[in-house]
Chains A and B, each alone.
Chain A
């Protein structure tokens, strides 16, 4: 789960990583109050889960409460890469002498946390990493040992951060990131930029935090804040109903049992000349209730012109799958063509059941390729 900047900064504050003072706001009036409380120059920042906020006009300085209010009015409602701004973070403006980049991420290849530190922080960090990788200090750390100061010193020396006062502060932040990374079950903690003020103070000007979805049960406070957040309407509906669904931009609705099989189904729909409208995984079986929820989410997307339902019966037998599907179709009114591909254990019995009892808009196929071809043909 990706967190907003303001949530990330709250966590940083708990970890005692220095961040500028700031307050969240969801109206222009709240932004004004926030600026008044903070005093002096502030920065009004759009809270969206996408990059490029600054370039899109989502980050603006303001000199005092009145200006903060009008900047907030400009930013609220902005559409940044498909994300509508509904919340702001108003923080005290920082003077910036230098911009660094510091992160710790989960390197699944090495199966170790990976720290990265460079003095070339700021907006074009990916460009820096690609064109001048030697400027980015990288260090894998041992998961079982806990923080060791040499790791942080090594990173600083390798990145060219050698001024003693500055280095001491960066080492301290690395130590706190290391502890927070495991304590928060984070997949990513990223500070870009990590700034140095003209007075030599180091602090985090931004916060990108991703928490492992599988570990949210032990971070209930973080999980709560996110439950009702915005996003695509179909994806929100899916979340509410516990359906594993990802919105895509085609016209063929796809559902099946098992993530790998569904991904493979998206591919064969593409090979048949169609474009998948979504990814939807029912998990192991195909009980009527979950099929109903999934079909409701899929058909709420108006661009869907046909649906392919790919089920491989393993332990869940084909005839049980067919009964679940028939029950689901009974409870819904769907006019779109639905192509069902049922294969695996007792698939013939299941297909026979469907052929006998399913409504007219349901077509039954025995192979994935035939089903994909059929649904593309019916949807065009």
Chain B
């Protein structure tokens, strides 16, 4: 099964003629993902290594029937691209673009949420379901097929944890990077809910970082609503208050939002928290070992 992307995924790539868009669209296709169309306004009729390019998402939908949009459009135009995908009836939008203004995302979020559209990102590495589909920039070679669901706010840290799991012989059902911006389309809880319902996923690992209160909310959700075991790792214990560490979202204000507060909330709800990526992977391995 896996979540969000799988064998049934048909991707339209918005911004396919850009350098990054083209590079990753081709990588995703080489992985076996059905990349059925690209959209770049003004370049309709062209093709990118055999993938037809359309002027609009509506035109791409009419011709190629995609169900997922991957957005690589530059930040000033990215919100418009998401609105366009939703207008054309796309159900799942995965937005890789970083640097989108927060107020743009506020409007996008408020518009799509009541319509039931699933948005992953922005400023995220995308979603990989090993052996099935890869939509985004996650280096698939680091991961392997299995039953651990991985959800994270970070990019390279996600790869780090996946790598640690793979080295311990533990594969993954899906890897979801939800992004680190102040407004992201899907929260930890949204993704945990999908993992809980997914038959292939047996254990979940949640990788958080300083800022906001999403990890704390997720801790309560795990305790009250999930039967599957969950492990967590939180980055940013050494981050001083009031400093921004690269991710717009990773801002500490006052005492809430610190790594310490998040780890405590998770432990208080019975979630094991690794002190570093290696230990977090070992905690997953211990649960997986006990289950077999």
Contact = CB atoms under 8 A, between A and B. Distances in A.
Interface of A: 106, 108-109, 111-113, 142-144, 182, 185, 187, 212-215, 217-218, 244, 246, 248, 256-264, 266-271, 276, 279, 281, 284, 312, 314-315, 343-345, 367-369
Given A108-B182, A111-B109, A345-B139, A260 B153 contact: yes
Q: With a 10 A CB-CB cut-off, give which of A106, A214, A268, A368 has the most chain B CB atoms.
A: A214
Interface of B: 27, 75-76, 99-104, 106-107, 109-111, 137-139, 141-142, 152-160, 163, 180, 182-183, 207, 209-210, 212-214, 217, 233, 235-240, 243-250, 259, 275-278
Contacts, number: 162
5 contacts: A144-B107, A185-B101, A212-B103, A258-B155, A260-B152
Nearest to B246: A259
Q: Provide the main secondary structure of the chain A interface.
A: mixed
Nearest to A247: B243
Nearest to A213: B248
Given A212-B101, A244-B246, A246-B245, A314 B159 contact: yes
Given A214-B101, A267-B236, A270-B238, A258 B110 contact: no
A367 B156 CA distance: 14
B248 A261 contact: no
A269 B236 CA distance: 11
B102 A106 contact: yes
Given A214-B102, A267-B276, A314-B139, A260 B243 contact: no
Contacts of A268: 276
Contacts of B109: 111, 143
Contact of A185 (B103, B110, B142, B210): B103
A175 to B, nearest CB: 18
Contacts of B102: 106, 185, 187, 212, 214-215
B235 A263 contact: yes
B278 A267 contact: no
B154 A259 contact: yes
Given A266-B238, A271-B275, A261 B157 contact: yes
Contact of A263 (B75, B139, B158, B239): B239
A273 to B, nearest CB: 12
Nearest to A276: B238
Contacts of B214: 109
A189 to B, nearest CB: 13
